[in-house]
Amino acid sequence: MIAVLSDTHSENGHALAGRAADAVADADEVLHAGDFTTETALDAFHDAADRLHAVHGNADSPAVRDRLPAARTVEVAGVRVALTHRRDGGELGLSMFGRERGADLVVSGHTHAPTTKETEDVVLLNPGSHADPRGNPEAHAELYPSDRGVRGELRARDGRVLSEFRVEGR
């Protein structure tokens, strides 16, 4: 399983609780779309996750920005994932970012709203925020390998499935 998170906004740790904490502990890989805020939070994620792929966000300290790229592309479970905190241009900007990187899935954060959107080229995923929801449910995403890609779930802190989606690999 791959756990997908964003927008931790913590001064003193990973702020994981409930289903998000379980998902990170059980995950083969963890994707984080930025805004850890501090090196302490980033280090706590490195300690909690066996394998962390992360980018920095707009609220990250200079020390976090020095350690993480603004964007990266990784392969997980046969799916090419383009990871960023945000892109100008909204959904169109994110879709173009994914297309430029040959991605099947674009993971972003920033809005704190857990959402998925299927576009012509890619699936857009914002896992929301597991720790600072700003009026949205505390959320994260879980990706499970399937025959031709991954099946995904947006989940609330209490474990409820908020929505389900699929991403096919190329």
Classify residue 112 as exposed, middle or buried by CB count within 10 Å of its CB (0-12, 13-18, 19+). buried
Structure letter (DSSP) for residue 149: E
Separation between Cα atoms, residue 160 and residue 151, nearest integer Å: 16
pLDDT of 17 > 90? The answer is: yes
pLDDT of 153 > 80? The answer is: yes
75-124 per-position pLDDT tens digit: 999 999 999 999 999 999 999 999 999 999 999 999 999 999 999 989 99
Residues in the chain: 170
What is the span of the domain harbouring residue 163?
Answer: 2-168
**Full-prediction pTM beyond 0.85?**
yes
**What is the pLDDT, as a whole number, of residue 170?**
77
Q: What is the CATH number of the domain that holds 40?
A: 3.60.21.10
The CB density around residue 114, as the number of other CB atoms within 10 Å, is 24
75-88 per-position pLDDT tens digit: 999 999 999 999 99
Give every CB contact of residue 41 below 8 A, 6+ residues apart in sequence: 8, 10, 11, 12, 13, 14, 15
Q: What Rg value do the Cα atoms of the chain yield, rounded?
A: 14
Classify residue 36 as exposed, middle or buried by CB count within 10 Å of its CB (0-12, 13-18, 19+). buried
Name the percent of the chain lying above pLDDT 70: 100
Count: domains in the chain: 1
Separation between Cα atoms, residue 126 and residue 20, nearest integer Å: 15
The two three-digit tokens of residue 155, written as one number: 């989940």
At which residue do the structure tokens 């009026």 appear? 135
Structure letter (DSSP) for residue 135: T
Q: 139 pairs with which residues across the strands?
A: 156
Q: What is the largest CA-CA distance in the chain?
A: 41
